[in-house]
Amino acid sequence: MISVVIPVYRDAANGLELAEALLHQRLPDNCPLEIIIVDDGSGDSTPDLLKQHENKIFRVIALIHNTGRAAARNAGAESAQGEYLVFIDCDCRPIGDDFLVTHLRRMNSGCIASCGRVTGIGSGFWTRYQEAASLRRERQHARGVVYSGSTQNFAVRRQAFMQLGGFDARYREYGFEDRDLLIRLSRLGDIGWSTDAVVRHLDQLTLPDVLAKMQQSGGSSAALFSCDHPTAYRALGYAAIDSRLHRWLRPFEVVFGQLLSCAKVVELMLDRPWMPYPVAKAIVKVLGALAFVRGSADADR
């Protein structure tokens, strides 16, 4: 059996649409599918809306309190009956009807886990940016950086996942819970990369939202990861922009505060025909680094 775990927070519509999309996946004979949506303490009508659609394939777990994506995914995995677990975010959709089979094939080749690509919608800057980021992760993985994948699109043998205790629930805020899990899994066996297992991220990214996530990831999640995996933290480049480690970076958080007010204006420039993609990408990366500096400084205070 394949068990797909989908964490949801106040987004019943996306959760249900993803569950419906997964029902059209092509599976091997005698390999049933189980879909588990975990409501992460939405505190609204989300769990009731989800439970209206429960059946033999689709189940809902409603957490009383908001615990974060790591703990929500763990709750789904603990309830799962499948030998294989697949994690996918509710705002993503698999591309093609062989998405699950592709991950399954990779794990049956001797890997204990499998990561895949993430792309966006449309053809604008943010889709290109996400595709470039996913390809960069794939190249890193090919070079042996096995913790480069994302649990937006991830499959794992349930036995290995449970042996490790799943995701580290200390990662309540955005970021690094996937890197941590992949590092720990790599000590048990090989992690594969399934090039043809692709999900489309449906959310339309904006620069203010991306910077907010970078700022949040620079906080408690980065502090945890840097303590648990200092070598990986340096290899990924985050140590270089962590103001807890480099106090001389503190003045740059003031710069970020000033630039943040201009983020919406910069957003309008990113897709202009006269804006070369490499320049737009560089601007976003610099602003993202400044946001991370700001987040690490805020957490340190």
Q: How far apart are CA 103 and CA 88, in angstroms?
A: 12
- Domain 2-201, classified CATH 3.90.550.10, yes or no: yes
CB contact at 8 A, 25 and 98: yes
At residue 74, the pLDDT reads 96
198-218: average pLDDT: 91
Q: How far apart are CA 193 and CA 207, in angstroms?
A: 29
At residue 61 the predicted structure's pLDDT band, cuts being 50, 70 and 90, is: very high
At residue 42, the pLDDT reads 92
- Concatenated DSSP letters for 81-148? --SEEEEE-TTEEESSTTHHHHHHHHHHTT-SEEEEEEE-SSSSHHHHHHHHHHHHHHHHHHTT-GGG
Domain edges within the chain:
2-201, 207-300
300 pLDDT exceeds 70? no
Residue listed under structure tokens 């294989």: 84
Strand 191-201 to strand 113-119: parallel, antiparallel, or no bridges (unpaired)?
parallel
204 compared with 190, residue with greater pLDDT: 190
Residue listed under structure tokens 């140590």: 239
Which of 75-84, 89-98, 263-272 shows the lowest per-residue confidence on average (mean pLDDT)? Answer: 263-272
At residue 4 the predicted structure's pLDDT band, cuts being 50, 70 and 90, is: very high
At residue 158, the pLDDT reads 95
Which of 74-83, 192-201, 256-265, 288-297 shows the lowest per-residue confidence on average (mean pLDDT)? Answer: 256-265
258 pLDDT exceeds 80? no
Token readout for 228 is 């648990």
CB contact at 8 A, 238 and 259: no
Q: How far apart are CA 66 and CA 70, in angstroms?
A: 11
275-298: average pLDDT: 90
At residue 134, the pLDDT reads 92
254 pLDDT exceeds 80? no
CB contact at 8 A, 293 and 141: no
52 pLDDT exceeds 80? yes
Q: Could you give the C-alpha distances from 215 to 41, 70, 104, 257, in angstroms and in order?
A: 24, 19, 35, 11
130-177 per-position pLDDT tens digit = 999 999 999 999 998 888 888 889 999 999 999 999 999 999 888 899
229 pLDDT exceeds 70? yes
